[in-house]
């Protein structure tokens, strides 16, 4: 008689049972793991693809936290057989004190509400990405306002996700001259009435001073694209 209790059947039974045990089911339930919208992720992918023919350029994420979006960007490049460099910048210690002080003194925020992201570690962050097999990235540890963007090279696509007014404002000013023609920057948290609406203020001031339109991406992305 044929053995119907083969490994495929056993696997199926295991999954059937696990899916019905609440403690296990809760660990693996499907959920959205990104802190930015699907439309923002799509914008970044389109930005990477549309700059391919013009020689590429660096893909940049400023403010990386645990690395969910970093993995998304690296996986997109891997799945398209691209070795384009990805540069990932964070303090890995949360917001710098002067930026938080500004939010409290000038933007009516409470420090307790905005003092987040202190738990990260660049060593664990990098280890996690290498464990997934990625090697076309560089991690820069430090304040994004002090990074030399010219040394990084022409920037094809950047996600600027540092939430508060001052780092968003200073970084936009420093970064923009090094964005390649046809390249783009996506600023997260361009939405009014949240703890992170400093990003919206900085983005709004930037587009006003450069005579550019407000381009909303998803529910909270603000985009900038450089003319070719």
Ligand X SMILES: C[S@@+](CC[C@H](N)C(=O)[O-])C[C@H]1O[C@@H](n2cnc3c(N)ncnc32)[C@H](O)[C@@H]1O
Residues near ligand X (CB under 6 A): 35-36, 61, 63-65, 68-69, 89-91, 94-96, 117, 120, 143-145, 161-163, 167
φ and ψ at 3, to 5 degrees?
A: -80, 105
Q: Which is nearer to ligand X, 36 or 155 (CB)?
A: 36
Return d(Cα 100, Cα 103) in angstroms, integer.
Answer: 5
Q: Which is nearer to ligand X, 161 or 197 (CB)?
A: 161
CB of 170 to ligand X, least distance (A): 8
| Residue listed under structure tokens 């022409």 | 154
Q: 191 by DSSP, 3-state: which?
A: coil
Return d(Cα 228, Cα 218) in angstroms, integer.
Answer: 24
CB of 151 to ligand X, least distance (A): 16
CB of 9 to ligand X, least distance (A): 40
CB of 99 to ligand X, least distance (A): 6
Residue of minimal Cβ distance to ligand X: 63
Return d(Cα 174, Cα 178) in angstroms, integer.
Answer: 8
Q: Which is nearer to ligand X, 186 or 207 (CB)?
A: 186
Return d(Cα 228, Cα 96) in angstroms, integer.
Answer: 35
DSSP 194: S
Q: Which two tokens stand for residue 213?
A: 């339109």
Q: Which is nearer to ligand X, 58 or 96 (CB)?
A: 96
């Amino acid at each position: 008689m044929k053995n119907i209790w083969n490994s495929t059947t056993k696997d199926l039974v295991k999954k059937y049972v696990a899916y019905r045990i609440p403690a296990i089911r809760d660990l693996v339930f499907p959920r959205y793991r990104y802190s930015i919208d699907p439309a923002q992720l799509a914008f970044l992918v389109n930005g990477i693809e549309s700059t391919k023919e013009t020689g590429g350029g660096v893909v940049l994420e400023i403010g990386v936290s645990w690395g969910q979006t970093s993995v998304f960007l690296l996986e997109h490049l891997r799945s398209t057989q691209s070795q384009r460099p990805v540069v990932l910048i964070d303090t890995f210690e949360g917001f710098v004190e002067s930026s938080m002080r500004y939010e409290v003194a000038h933007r009516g925020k409470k420090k307790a509400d905005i003092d987040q992201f202190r738990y990260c570690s660049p060593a664990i962050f990098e280890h996690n990405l290498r464990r997934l097999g990625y090697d076309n990235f560089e991690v820069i540890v430090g304040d994004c306002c002090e990074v030399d963007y010219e040394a990084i090279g022409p920037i094809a696509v950047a996600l600027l996700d540092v939430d508060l007014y001052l780092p968003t404002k200073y970084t936009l000013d420093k970064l923009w001259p090094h964005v390649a023609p046809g390249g783009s920057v996506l600023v997260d948290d361009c939405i009014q009435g949240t703890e992170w609406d400093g990003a919206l203020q900085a983005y709004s001031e930037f587009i006003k001073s450069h005579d550019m339109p407000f381009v909303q991406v998803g529910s909270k992305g603000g985009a900038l694209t450089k003319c070719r």
